[in-house]
Structure 1
Amino acid sequence: MSLDADQIVDRRRLRRKVTFWRTLGVLAVVAALAVGVGVFAAERVPAGSPHVARVVIGGIIRNDRERVEMLEEIGRSGAQAVILSIDSPGGTVTGSEQLYDALRRLAAKKPVVAVVEGVAASGAYIAAIGADHIVSRRNALVGSVGVIYQFPNVTELLKTVGVTMEDIKSSPLKASPNPYTPVTREARAAVESLVADSYGWFKGLVGERRQLSGSGLATVSDGRVFTGHQGLDLQLVDQIGDERTARAWLAKEKGVSEHLKVRTWTTGRVTSEFGWLLGLGHAALESAGFPQLASVFSRSARAAASRVQLDGLLAVWHPPVE
């Protein structure tokens, strides 16, 4: 017997609801497992007992008060040494400076060794030189010593649609440059002075921490990235290897037993490493027939993201897209 139209509609609605709750359940389980694994890893070694602290530096580096407080707590803990596990293209100049300063304060209390797992470029390299020793995988990327300031300019686009932006400013360089008017020579010079000042600080930091000067410093500070193998010859890193290499160095140079357990410290914040869950959640809600809820979900995610915008001056590496 064939189903009438109402029964077909009811069954489809029921199927969408079942799909929605199943998907939501899977997301909840995955999120709980991700957070649970992190908590378990952090708590299986008591903070007060002797251990080696592992701190993961990943993603975009921004100002992060919670991370600074965590590093300060490590300094007061039973950690005998600290391993920085780095895989980051860098981030904001101020965020990188904050992290570097916190690491140097920590290094005054505990030996700190950086391990470049994938990328330690720009601001992430600033973090690496905050350590006492840098170990890098042979084909990891290091360097990208430099500062960049980027802004869009849509003046030609506005002309095509007949739109102009009018400004009433207290002085010619107020809010300059902006994307709505051509960049003046004075505005460009003002921004160039900012970039040059921060670049001078970054370059000086590399020279001081890596004992480089003259042509050697000039070579490593022209903005390029280098492999770990190249960086070894250029004095950007101290050893080729991995975390085991770092443990061996700590044992030999600092007397930190290789038998100590490792405790991964985290701030407890669900970071961008779990951002894929947001996209998966939106897709699940939309496919389950709840487009309005999916829109609310997306707006909430965008609002959260807007609170962590990058500042103007960046120490971040990203390969050009041809």
Structure 2
Amino acid sequence: MLVDLIAGARPNFIKIAPIIEAIQEEQKNGTDIEYRLIHTGQHYDKLLSSAFFEQLGIPEPYVNLHAKGETQAELTAAIMHRYEQVLQTRRPDLALVVGDVTSTMACAITAKKMNNIPLAHVEAGIRSGDLTMPEEINRIVTDAITDFFFTTTNTANENLIHIGVPEQRIFFVGNTMIDTLLKQMPRFKKPALWEQYNLAPQQYIVTTLHRPSNVDDPQKLKSLVEAIIQGANGLPIIFPAHPRTMKAFDKINVSAENLHVIEPLGYLEFNYLVKQAKIVVTDSGGITEETTVMKVPCMTLRDNTERPETYTIGTSMLLGTSPSAIQPAFDKLYRGEWKKGEVPELWDGHTAKRIVHILKNLF
């Protein structure tokens, strides 16, 4: 059995690493299973790509498609064209895609159009209901042509059943991103900036913003950052900036002694900061999952989320995108009234093993 594992962006690498490890374990046990790691090249910055391969112990990819594009359409077309060329050399028994980035959708479509290759989607069924998000389009399209659905929560199961997916094709397995988090937690690494900015546990704030609704309008980004600075009450704000956000920062005039805008960090360094933070302020879905498991308070600056369990069960508050919502949330934190949160079912570090075991039985 040959499985193509598709990864192209930073969240993909985190989710795919434990699946590779689980396959390698099955190989040691004599299971006839091979994999090809297909790196689409969607994230090509070293801090967003190769550094993750090194830190998470991901082997060199079978191929790097080096797909680039200035627009969503150009990137999608480049990925599809180059993955099609790989499929022409040898047809896999299964294409496995993870998450909801452009690489996920593009390779899913290509696999299905190439002789109807069976398709598995890890993290299937999550929905924000917001069609202005490119990721929501990717989720809907991918799930429309998927054969085997691996889900993170019962909410995702219900979303799939609602659109007519037969229950026997849905497998509630948990969250591979949490597999990686729990495995790597003992290896979290103090970044050099810890001493540089005189950081102390629970005495600083971590912020990340990258969604177009928050960063593409300079005035909106400026208002959000100023609200975070005001709410911080002088605590250091560590702001690892996605390249998209860094470009936006060049257009606004915001500065403060306690605001430190830095380049993206490696996985081990970034999560060291998150684990020790007083609170995280973000618009990332994946980070809200990680803060939930690490029991770190989190403000989610989004009007909706495809991961509702992070605020219904976990440690996040869904604030919306209005800067005026930030100060009341900080006040709640300082009063010691932030909820403790719980870890969702099956987010236990064994999701990838469950996925590979199911695939072994299916094929």
* TM-score, scaled to structure 1: 0.30
Higher alpha-carbon Rg:
1
Q: Which structure has more RCO (C-alpha within 8 Å, separation ≥ 6)? A: 1
TM-score by length of 2: 0.28
